[in-house]
Structure 1
Amino acid sequence: MYNAIKKLFQYGTVTVDYPKKHIKSSYITGVPKFNYDKCMHCMKCKNSCPTGAIVLSDNDGQNGKVPAVNIDECIFCRFCEEACQNDAVYFSNIFELAQKNRNDLRAAPLIIQDEDVSVLDYELLGKQLKENVKKFYGKSLNIREIDAGSCNGCDYEINALSSPYNDIERLGIQFVASPRHADMLMVTGCVTRNMEEALIKTYNATPSPKLVVAVGACACSGGIFKNSYAGRNGVDSILPVDVYIPGCPPRPQALIYGILKAIGRS
């Protein structure tokens, strides 16, 4: 007991105060950005991208097509930055990237056609979901994490949420062992063939209303395994996704931001 008290006075509080206080650090690798004044349109950045995340877009009102990033496909590998000889590509410190709509993460929007559901229906469903989220998950949340074929990078970051440094339980959020006790499913990986059935069964075992969060580039779009014979191109090809958290892997604070965004607390 004496040693515990001694350590407390010696090191003080180690828990980070995020999201009340934003984290500023030069060590944070965030979303890639382009300086179009330096860009020579050589497309070396596009050709070096292993996931095809860099596309041509009418970004920032420039004349003609310019390179831009589909953040849901980006694995933050820095190959584009290394390939650019004009320093037109650089990585920012912006890590709060989670979005409820996947198209908000893309320079080239996905085209989704559904003739059976009108825009008005989508708006009504979205309003009802937002009200239910605030009602049921405003103060507490139980999460079941599912590895659907990841490299474990995202899983390590999720595990770090329970450490003394991040201490996610201070926000009324905790992880549970059974989907039957869960309010939210956090899914990592591109959803391999072997995990597809298990993911669906876990989703069906989770009581409604429930939320699904896709964690990492693989879960958002398939990532480096996109269009592979062995898996799907992300979680939304199997289940409805409420929030996408890009990154490879996303840092713990990015995960906290995405979780709070899902339950209407950010």
Structure 2
Amino acid sequence: MGDALCIREVDAGSCNGCEMEISALGNPYYNIEGLGIKFVASPRHADMLLVTGPVSRNMEMALKRTFDATPEPKLVVAVGDCACTGGIFGESYATCGRVDKVIPVDVTVPGCPPEPIDILRGILQAVRRRVVQRS
């Protein structure tokens, strides 16, 4: 990771509640770009994947490909109850369930949806863990 943290957000089948809270991170109150955190369109430019929703069967392969396309060292943060536990959807004919059933997860941020400050804490916790592992 360089001076900025680049995040690729992946909606793996959410209701968009978590996405609304993630987008709030860009408003002047949270101003994550001022912290050197930015969202990117390509996983090839990302340091971290922020994944929401239970992984739908239709998104399983896309999520795996996105994870594989993200360069090492990569971090994964599962955001919201659905991403952390499968939420009300669980595992069914339509969903694989929680994100860590499809790709490895470094940090989980529970909540339905979690507040922006909790999402920011999860992002920073993942970065902190990576820095401690490198030391």
Normalising to structure 2: TM-score of the pair? 0.92
Shift of 1:207: 0.8
Aligned counterpart for 1:166 among listed residues 1, 19, 30? 30
Structure 2: gaps (5+ residues): 130-135
Gapped regions of structure 1 (runs ≥ 5): 1-135
**SS of aligned partner of 2:97:** coil
Whether 1:216 aligns to 2:97 is no
Number of residue pairs aligned between Structure 1 and Structure 2: 129
1:253 partnered with 2:120: no
Does structure 1 residue 157 correspond to structure 2 residue 40? no
| 1:232 positional shift | 1.3
Question: Which residue does 1:243 correspond to in 2?
Answer: 107
- Greater fraction of residues in strand: 2
* 1:263 paired to 2:127: yes
Structure 1 position 227, deviation (Å): 2.6
Structure 1 runs of 4+ aligned residues shifted over 6 Å read none
Could you tell me how far apart the structure 2 residues matched to 1:191 and 1:228 are? 10
1:7 maps to none
The whole-number CA distance in structure 1 between the counterparts of 2:9 and 2:106 is: 15
- Asked whether 1:202 is paired with 2:66, we answer yes
Q: Is the 8 A contact 2:56 2:97 kept in 1?
A: no
Q: CA RMSD in A?
A: 1.2
Question: Quick one: distance in 1 between partners of 2:123 and 2:4?
Answer: 11
Residue 228 (structure 1) shift:
2.2
Q: How does 1:128-167 map to 2 (within 5 A)?
A: 136=1, 139-167=3-31
The percentage of aligned residue pairs carrying the same residue is 64
Taking the aligned partners of 1:200 and 1:156, their CA distance within structure 2 comes to 24
Give the TM-score normalised by the residue count of structure 1. Answer: 0.47
Distance 2:8 2:25 in 1: 13
Higher relative contact order (CA 8 A, sep 6+): 2
5 Å-filtered alignment, 1:1-266, equals 136=1, 139-264=3-128
Distance 1:202 1:263 in 2: 19
Q: Which has the larger radius of gyration?
A: 1
